[in-house]
Structure 1
């Protein structure tokens, strides 16, 4: 079947990129609300403040793969409007589904920026951010987007949810390279004594490339590394599971799609593989684990997720509890929803700072460029935007870690503000 294979190919590519890190109508707002001319104070009114959210809600990856940040941001703005909006002005959210294509993305950018005249984009989550340069040229702040590609490390006026140290002058990273740390591998080595790690990938370009990067990072931290590659069309996960058992791997990392991960876990359970952790990423940090891995109870309870935001299950934390209260009507919860909520909060703080002089694109962008160390009231690890001429050789990086437990869900492992390591930064080509 051709169609399912294309869908899985796209999903595999998206998972790899994430792990590397990671109706149009005229505006009701006066033109002066969108331009910072530096003279006088605009007349206050109750006109809506318009923002845009671009999401690949329909794409080859599937209908719900990218919608988490959008849903979290919408929930935040809905609650904000119930509470009076920003200085008495409601936030009007304009949604655009780009269909997961570059053409569709450019159409969304044109509609929201040129026709709807949004003040900012919020929680962008797209498969192909082809319109990123246009957003940048228009000086429209894009706040709290998910860095699925390299756009947030390339263009000014784009502020990814995890920050960036790159020059962002129109060229990707530093001379076409980005850098990532080895903090995840350091964590499992220091906290759990892991020494042997397996990396499972497809014989597909993006999957194999990311697997090589993980292998480099593991070796840099002193691990013995076992590499496992399976055929993309006909993956033999039983053979992989048997070898993992023979090799005695402590950890399993992967560069495969979520469907493949579920099948791999089922094969590991069937083979009796015992591991310290099956490590996944923020995209798979969801409340649907029990269903997604229903055929692999042992592997399911060895799932660990790492990221840069506070566990959405940590309802003892005030900011998390506010998010969960506002989203209790959703059928499922996910870490990406919390990060979309944080992105909307980020925009709101920027807009409130501009309420006296006018909520313009320029004012919001200026506040964003100065928002060093932003945490969304503790939902995010401190976010920084610096334009370093040279990439850092090492960096102190903190980490949010959670483990799945049946009956409890995702259980945080330590506090993300103190789970920190000084680690080397390894280059890669996105």
Structure 2
């Protein structure tokens, strides 16, 4: 068999190679250590430079402390003082800007009216004698403190005159509309004071017209609506409910003549149930329709006469009962305030007539029953018996 032979290096040659390897490792280690040392020195130098820069900046930014001020001050206090110093420099500029804006036109914003709609004017004096007289007779208009809070976000402007109408308004505004408390003057002398909303009279208010009539009460979109009091030029007074500038609902009307009506209204007219008392003592209580006594009701006279029954347009019309103060009584048909048709008349002395009536008198066939029961059957004409069976 053959054997493998391994060629061995001489001993001196191996030692020389080991020394060369160790030398290269040592050089590499020295270079790495030197580089690390240089890097640490460089980083230390940069940190020192940054520290110096920060210190310089702090020294530059710190105000010098007055030696007479002995209270301790922190950096926070220093910054606070700097902020105050800055504010004192800004405020005068801001104030001057606002003053310039005010001088040019303070109320040019989203709430004020456009200049082509209304212009600022002086509030006029009230010169209409009728209006002055009413104002002197009434207490000052009272605003509601609680309701006023609703308009805290509205702005108050000087008087503005509407170019198209000449009307002058002074009060609160929002979104270019009259909103809140305000007064308004018409060219003819009419004067309003009260609440506004959506550019119209809304809520409580008082309108004094140029002729001296006035209304004080609730408003809805420039119309008398709700509860209020109206006094006309003659002094007649209505106090009650309103709708669309008309008496509507329950109310009481007092005339200077002394007449009084209390009841229901619709579209400005007595309508529904009501009671009317005349100054002469007459009275009616019952149904009304479009300002007329109409339907069923009772009318009384001061002398004791009473009618209870049906009515059409202020007249007894239909079925009814009439009482006289002397005891006479009629039960039957009526037409235009007169007995018409069939009816029974009972006399105070005990007699009774049953039969036809025309123009307020017995007419046609009828029967007269005496107090003792005797009957007379016949024909009557204009209240007289003309034939007898």
User: Quick check: TM above 0.5?
Assistant: no
Instruction: Give the structure with higher Rg (CA).
Output: 2
Q: Which has the higher contact order (CA 8 A, sep 6+)?
A: 1
Structure richer in helix, relative to its length: 1
| TM-score, normalising length: structure 1 | 0.18
- TM-score normalised by the chain length of structure 2: 0.19
